[in-house]
Structure 1
Amino acid sequence: MLSTSTFLALAMQCAASVHPDTTHEVARVESGFNPYAIAEIIPKVKRKPGDKGVVSYFPESKEAALKIVKNIELRNHRYSVGLMQITSTNFAKFGTTAEKMFDPCENLKVSEKILVNCYKRGGDLVRGLSCYYSGNPETGVK
């Protein structure tokens, strides 16, 4: 896990156009500041009643994280990774990979692009964060 001071220094260096308080809160909620955090998204057809549809993993190394990702990919499930929980469906759009997203600065750079785009689409921070979470300005607010 990254300390608050380390995280904030990285946020200001790697995602300068997003206020550090915003990136700090997103990382706190999404990964608990664990740069190797992974959330496996279970397809709706495979979920049991009452399941949230997400399995969280908190490996302690990049190598362990990459093994988990490989297994998730073998199941053909989507997943989110790293400090800011970048979803695998965004990798191609931003020219990145799961391995690169385990680098805190690279993860913050991609999250900055997503957050800025979502803020512009949503028009305010709440709707922008909804978009970051769900892909649109409405779903995450509900």
Structure 2
Amino acid sequence: MDLPIDQCGNGVQAPIVEAIIQAESSGNPWAVNVNVRDGQAQPLLVPARSLDEAIAQATQLRAEGYSFDVGLMQVNSANVARLGVSFEEAFDVCTNLNMGTTVYNEFAAGAGRHAEEFDTPRKQMMATLSAYNTGSYWKGFVNGYVYRVLRYLGEPVQPRNTMIAAVTASMEVSLDFGSDLAGLDEGFTANEAGSGGLSGIDRGGELSEQKPPLSSIRRENDLGAGP
């Protein structure tokens, strides 16, 4: 599929967008994946075979109160609503690219405001990828999402246990969003059939100044070589 990333991708580099798409939906524009929370039943979804089926699934999941991700970039339903997009539009390739890269850029701006922690472009990209998937600048390291995207980018990564050790050390400022934001709480689990997490959340960019034991992302060696 030829993707109109230059026209619809809000300036995000095409290789990054393509890698996110592979990690999130494997290039399926009709993909729908549910984020099941504590107390919710796991719905049985048959992969949509058409746009109409995808729209019907999304409409039903919204009516039943689920959080879910849609389309090529697996944009979370909270962001679809926040951006004022209908489900009929959300599965359109250009619209989905536009929404997904809007969320990506929001998180990238937040990472850029914390240059003392993310002090290279590579670290800022990795933190942004983490937030895109989980709403947190560190949880996407722990769940393996960041390294999955890096592999699609063709970049070498260190063994996952080494990387997890790096990101579970303590740091001076929390890189997590508050649990009041949509789709992010301790009861959250992701549908492994698709994205593995949230494609963004209700809003991006602002960090809470808490100090729980989170990640230390200061040493370049911990994150692999890169600028």
What band does the TM-score fall into relative to the shorter chain?
0.7 to 0.9
- Aligned-pair distance for 1:110? 0.9
Higher Cα Rg, which structure:
2
Superimposed CA distance per residue, residues 60-117 of structure 1 (whole angstroms, 9 cap, x where no aligned partner): 2110111211221232111110000010011232121222110010000111111111
TM-score by length of 2: 0.53
Structure 1 unaligned blocks of 5 or more: 48-52
Partner of 1:36: 30
Q: Once the two structures are aligned, what percentage of the paired residues are identical?
A: 24
Kindly report the root-mean-square deviation, in angstroms, between the aligned alpha carbons of the 2 structures.
Answer: 1.9
Higher helix proportion: 1
Q: Which amino acid aligns with 1:108?
A: L
- The reply on whether 1:82 has 2:71 as its aligned counterpart is yes
Could you list the runs of 4 or more consecutive aligned residues of structure 1 that deviate by over 4 angstroms after TM superposition? 53-57
CA distance in 2, matches of 1:79, 1:24: 21
Does the 8 Å contact 1:41/1:55 carry over to 2?
no
SS state at 1:44 partner: coil
28-37 vs 88-97, which moves further: 88-97
Does the 8 Å contact 1:39/1:55 carry over to 2?
no
Superimposed CA distance per residue, residues 13-41 of structure 1 (whole angstroms, 9 cap, x where no aligned partner): 11141010000000011111111100012
Query: Number of paired residues?
Result: 131
Q: Which has the higher contact order (CA 8 A, sep 6+)?
A: 2
SS state at 1:92 partner: helix
